[in-house]
Chains A and B, each alone.
Chain A
Amino acid sequence: MGTIYVGVGEFAASKTPGDVIKTMALGSCVGIVVLAPSIRAVGMLHVALPDSSINTKRVKEKPGMFADTGIPILLKEMQKLGLTGGKIIVKLAGGASIMDPNNTFNIGKRNILAVKKLLWKYRLGAVSEDLGDSISRTVSVEVDTGRVQISSPGRGTWEL
């Protein structure tokens, strides 16, 4: 029982009562939170980039780094905890960007699109999301309640 920290490109899943899964300071990265009420389990993935084709070597070392390779891994992790076919609730946070009128540096937007596309493949869609803008977000999810919270410096804490 405790807090499990998910770093950049990492993922975690738990059904241990009292556990909290947390990822710090999402900038353009996207945090994908999944809740499986049927087995009382939660999971989280911290995706940094949209597409693994830019560096296939890194896919082997850290598949969670990319949206296309990370999401299948997170879902497998939930299956390991006993998820067979029950309902999965998805919540998304992050994908922020700097103020860039040309969108060249807008990796946040590209991450969001890639994540949603992948989820769609699995016939999943987010029930709630807090995406975009120019802020940093820390996200946590509690096993006991399934409550997902976001905080950002200067902006307090709110529920997703």
Chain B
Amino acid sequence: MGTITLSETNQDVIKNILGKVTNVPMLPQVVMRLLTLIGNSDHSLHEVVKIVESDAALTARILRVSNSAAFFRGNQVHSVSKAILQLGEKMVAGIAIGSCTSDVFKSPLHGYESAEGELWDHSLRTAIASREIASKFAKGVGADLAFTAGLLHDIGKAILSEFLKGSTREMAQKCDAGSYDFLQAEIEHSGTNHAAVGEVLANHWNLPIAIVEAIQHHHSPAAAGDEFRALVYAVHLGDLVAMMGGTGTGADTLAYKIDPGYEEYFTVDKDAIPELMLLVQDEFTRTKSAVFLDEGV
């Protein structure tokens, strides 16, 4: 299970981290089936509708969101297929993930000095940015898949956080001195990093391989498998754009390196990043207020 970075001195800590991952409840079947389906480019709307309709709570939630002020288009939506067409598959996956994993996403990340709800905000903003970036890539990356992968990219932090408690200031100081990025600081203090822990959790949840790769390599996209690399670059940039917009997870916000390998997929001119940031800001505000207003996430 997983390829957590081992260091001699931290093997006990790593065993504890792995133990913690095994205790995280499995994702509900309906979420798993949706993620697997969306990860497969060759699927129909009908299949998505069938999965959503198999779960009464999810059906109700999706209808409620599609009739909310931000998504309402003049006519009440009563059918799941119309709701999915209106919201887009990515939003459906987002609603499913958000409503079923609130324990993972909602908890404060004490090891990062990050308040309750910030992990979810950062994840949602990364999902939106990853989707927009993927849609601009010359080589085709599924925008819906990029959204889902962006939403899940930092799940490792929910586990790793408590093992970093008490070290946050020291880690921040090392990053500020310019010698480290936060991943290196995490490794020094826990023997591993949030991307590696996320990979273990993703495998524990049996997530589709494309999403596992995005979680594992979102700070090292060049190391992703050939067929997933474009997706992972989209999430890598999406994560950084979310942090630039001020939505990070506390002490590690912005303390990461960009991998310039993205240039193979994405041409950045003078206005590209400001335009992207403006779009992401607007879409984040709209989505956040509509989708998770009263969802307990």
Q: Which residues of A contact B (CB under 8 A)?
A: 8-9, 24-29, 48-51, 54-55, 58, 65, 96-102, 104-105, 107-108, 110, 133-136, 152-156
Total inter-chain residue pairs, C-beta < 8 Å: 118
Measured between C-beta atoms, what is the minimum distance from A143 to chain B in Å?
24
Q: Which of B71-111 contact A (CB under 8 A)?
A: none
Chain A residues, CB < 8 A from B275: 54-55
Q: Is the CB of A134 within 8 A of B260?
A: no
Assuming the contacts A102-B260, A136-B253, asked whether A8 and B244 have C-beta atoms less than 8 A apart, the reply is: no
Rounded to whole angstroms, the CA-CA distance of A153 and B274 in the bound complex is 26
Chain B residues, CB < 8 A from A133: 176
Chain B residues, CB < 8 A from A54: 271, 274-275, 278
Q: Is the CB of A100 within 8 A of B258?
A: yes
Q: Which residues of B contact A (CB under 8 A)?
A: 112-114, 168-169, 171-172, 175-176, 181, 240-241, 243-248, 250-251, 253-258, 260, 268, 271, 273-275, 277-278, 281
Q: Is the CB of B246 within 8 A of A29?
A: yes
Chain A residues, CB < 8 A from B181: 99
Chain A residues, CB < 8 A from B175: 134
Known: A8-B246, A154-B251. 10 other contacts (CB 8 A): A9-B281, A24-B246, A25-B253, A27-B245, A28-B244, A98-B244, A98-B257, A99-B258, A153-B251, A155-B172
Chain B residues, CB < 8 A from A105: 240-241, 244, 258, 268, 273
Chain A residues, CB < 8 A from B176: 133-135, 155
Chain A residues, CB < 8 A from B112: 153-154
Rounded to whole angstroms, the CA-CA distance of A54 and B282 in the bound complex is 15
Rounded to whole angstroms, the CA-CA distance of A101 and B181 in the bound complex is 13
Chain A residues, CB < 8 A from B253: 25, 27, 135-136, 153
Measured between C-beta atoms, what is the minimum distance from B268 to chain A in Å?
5
Assuming the contacts A98-B244, A104-B268, A104-B273, asked whether A49 and B255 have C-beta atoms less than 8 A apart, the reply is: no
Measured between C-beta atoms, what is the minimum distance from B14 to chain A in Å?
23
Q: Is the CB of B245 within 8 A of A101?
A: no
Q: Is the CB of A154 within 8 A of B171?
A: yes
Closest to A28 in B: B244
Closest to B168 in A: A154
Q: Is the CB of A153 within 8 A of B245?
A: no
Measured between C-beta atoms, what is the minimum distance from B278 to chain A in Å?
6
Q: Is the CB of A155 within 8 A of B169?
A: yes
Chain B residues, CB < 8 A from A58: 278
Q: Is the CB of A28 within 8 A of B245?
A: yes
Rounded to whole angstroms, the CA-CA distance of A101 and B248 in the bound complex is 21
Closest to A58 in B: B278
Assuming the contacts A25-B248, A105-B258, A136-B253, asked whether A98 and B243 have C-beta atoms less than 8 A apart, the reply is: yes
Rounded to whole angstroms, the CA-CA distance of A108 and B246 in the bound complex is 11
Chain A residues, CB < 8 A from B169: 154-156
- List 25 A-B pairs, Cβ < 8 Å: A25-B248, A25-B253, A27-B243, A27-B245, A27-B254, A28-B245, A28-B277, A48-B281, A50-B274, A98-B240, A98-B243, A98-B254, A98-B256, A99-B258, A100-B258, A104-B268, A107-B244, A108-B244, A134-B176, A135-B254, A136-B253, A152-B172, A153-B251, A154-B171, A154-B172
Q: Is the CB of B254 within 8 A of A134?
A: yes
Among the interface residues A27, A50, A152, which one has the most CB atoms of the partner chain B within 10 A? A27
